[in-house]
Amino acid sequence: MIIEMARVDTPIGPLLLAVREGSLCAVEFDGAQARLRRTLSRRFPGVELRSGEDPSGFASRLRAYFDGDLSALESISVDPGGTPFQAKVWKELRRIPTGSAVSYRDLAGMIGAPKAVRAVGLANGANPVPIVIPCHRVIGADGGLMGYGGGLERKRWLLAHEGARGLRHSDSGTESLNLF
């Protein structure tokens, strides 16, 4: 089995893409190439990793997204793996419209598991295909920006890039999205 890897320079730093059989199976922020290789080797024993310019055209689509074509990622095929619960969460994340954000509690309700807020948060944090599976669109119940694997600065940038309403700064230095 062969996985093609490509690097895409973006306004939030370089991204590393991993594409297998026409599906995006991982996106990692720069600086984590060794971790990405380990993760792919565990998930796909015996995999051969090759460098590619634009595997399945996904590097071009990511560039288009960062250049302002916010719908460029919608049709990218993903293969994130994961447990059935994680897959359910990740599928629902792709249904959150660009420019919107939901709370972890809302996301739990959207998948029919309203008491599984913590599990939803863990699944969100385990997302191997950030940006394309838009885990950055999930915020705290109070509208605050909660953790993001790429860091809160990147999450803030992505939400602003997508035109999320009400991004504001408070005097305390915390930020929240006033979406309601």
Which residues are designated catalytic?
135
Backbone φ and ψ of 150, nearest 5°: -90, 0
CA distances for 33 relative to 4, 26, 70, 95, 142, angstroms: 13, 11, 26, 29, 34
Instruction: Return the SS3 of 53.
Output: coil
Written as six digits, the tokens of 91 are 């599928």
> Is 28 in contact with 36 (CB distance < 8 Å)?
yes
